[in-house]
Amino acid sequence: VIVGVARETATGERRVALSPETCKKLVAAGCAVRIQPGIGAGAYFTDAAYIDVGAQLAEDATAAADLVLCVQPPEPAAIAGLKHGTVLVGSLHPQADAARSAALQSAGVVAFPLERLPRTTRAQAMDVLSSQAGMAGYKAVLIAAQLAPRFFPMLTTAAGTIRPSKVLIVGAGVAGLQAIATAKRLGAAVEGFDVRPETREQIESLGGKFLDLGVSAAGEGGYARQLTDEERALQQQRLADHLKGIDVVVCTAAVPGRPAPKIITEAMVAGMKPGSVVVDLAAETGGNCALTQPGQTIESAGVTVAGPLNLASMGAQHASEMYARNVFNFVSLLLKDGALHFDWGDELLARSVWPERVEAGVTKA
Ligand code: NAD
């Protein structure tokens, strides 16, 4: 099996889907690994580190590949250059991009968008949403600490006592829980809330305080559902009062397949103390805060609102190590006796493959 990895071309993308560690494992499994020079530069993996473990450099690394690994989907022109039947594994979001999904279909690519994997125990080792959300939650808190004109921890000094910053994390999924843990380690007084009731225990186990806004909206598959208008009004009314005493808000709330829920209104921001900070990790899908400008940091009535994009890329080295392990664990399901093999009876393949397969038993030598 020829595995090919090209340089990521999306603006600002520093991560890579193959690390020297996973390259070594693929070579040990009998694959020929071809990489475009510089694939790991953004994550500080040198070409030499890949060559040392058996990779070959090739400017056209993906041209003859059977299996192509990526972080973000390749450009349509690059997809057109893949051979028919190439297996493409990465964060592909084909449903969100008509040009790319058309290119994938006309090139006859067998795509495995990893974000489509079910969130089951067995899929955890392949779960790029979780591994990358962890880095995003961590970085979001560091950005907030950087922007804040205040300390996070309590300090008792000769110049007097500084009270700890009050940090509120909105949404306690994977990113939110990592944000809570990170803010806690920096010494802030941390609160979190979510609409899934089971998050109370998770927030408390990290030393955070659960902010009860009286709204519970667990949906399917362990995710949240969209709130009704009444629930939303209740949540907002209680939150508006509470935010007046908060120094830093980190937003991470999401509902699968929908724009980010709007939780922090302009009026709520106006009610916050000057010098407060909102970091909106949901900026990519529109933001949880009404004032969020994706990719920008603005100030409104003394409150700084940041909407950073692709936070995982800011921690490219560890994010890539984790992403590459997720990819390798998934690819291991496809490698059998030195060939690619598709067990469509395995729900991890059957549920992630795009476009959806109806027929079973496809095997490719
Ligand atoms: P996500 O990114 O879809 O959403 C982030 C959080 O926002 C969620 O906790 C959600 O409940 C919350 N949210 C949505 N609307 C909200 C609102 N109006 N107000 C406040 N909070 C709101 O979620 P995620 O981080 O991908 O994880 C979702 C679930 O999947 C969690 O239960 C997580 O434990 C579970 N999970 C399971 C596995 C596994 O077993 N393989 C792996 C990862 C995550």
pLDDT tens by residue, 50-72: 999 999 999 999 999 999 999 99
CA of 120 to the centre of ligand 1 (A): 13
Residues 6+ apart with CB under 8 A from 108: 84, 85, 86
Atom number in ligand 1 closest to CA 193: 20
Q: Output the pLDDT for position 344.
A: 94
351 vs 218: which has the higher pLDDT: 351
Which of 114, 169, 178, 195 should be mutated for ligand 1, with most atoms under 8 A from CB?
195
Query: Which residues, in sequence order, are CB contacts of 129 under 8 Å at separation 6+?
Result: 114, 115, 119, 174
Q: CA quadruple 99, 75, 123, 208: dihedral positive or negative?
A: negative
DSSP 3-state of 54? coil
Write down the H helix ranges in the chain.
Answer: 20-28, 47-52, 76-80, 98-106, 128-147, 174-185, 199-205, 229-243, 266-270, 311-314, 316-331, 347-352
pLDDT at 27: 98
Q: Please report, rounded to a whole number, the percentage of residues in the chain having pLDDT higher than 70.
A: 98
What was the pLDDT predicted at 361? 47
Opening angle at CA 327, ends 322 and 331, nearest 5: 150
Whether 164 shows a pLDDT value over 50: the answer reads yes
Return all residues near 317 (Cβ < 8 A) that are at least 6 apart.
43, 44, 45
- Backbone torsion region of residue 12, taken as left when φ is above 0, otherwise alpha when ψ lies between -120 and 50, otherwise beta: left
The one-letter amino acid code at 111 reads A
Please state which of the ranges 213-217, 237-241, 262-266 shows the lowest mean pLDDT. Answer: 213-217
Atom of ligand 1 nearest to the CA of 124: 41
Give distance in angstroms: CA of 132 to centre of ligand 1.
13
Over range 346-354, report the average pLDDT: 95
* Predicted pLDDT of residue 218: 86
Ligand 1, residue 123: give the atom nearest the CA.
Answer: 41
Query: Averaged over 235-245, what is the pLDDT?
Result: 93
Asked whether the predicted pLDDT for residue 365 surpasses 80, the reply is no
Tell me the average pLDDT across 307-336. Answer: 98
Any residues with Cβ below 6 Å from ligand 1, and which?
119-121, 123-124, 127, 129-130, 133, 170-176, 194-196, 222-224, 227, 252-256, 261, 263
Residue type (1 letter), 279: V
- Label residue 231 exposed, middle or buried (CB < 10 Å: 0-12, 13-18, 19+): middle
Closest residue by Cα to residue 54 from 37, 31, 74, 85: 31
Q: If you measure from the C-alpha of residue 177 to the centroid of ligand 1, how many angstroms do you get, rounded to a whole number?
A: 10
Q: CA distances (Å), 175 to each of 169, 218, 247, 318, 354, in order?
A: 10, 18, 20, 15, 26
Kindly tell me if the per-residue pLDDT of 299 is higher than 90. yes
pLDDT tens digit sequence for 354-363? 988 755 444 4
Catalytic residues: 119, 124, 127, 130, 223
Residue with tokens 């004109």: 149
Mean pLDDT within 77-92: 96
Given a cut of 90, is residue 147 above it in pLDDT?
Answer: yes
Give the CA radius of gyration of the chain: 22
Distance 2 CA to ligand 1 centre (A): 36
The pTM of this model reads: 0.94
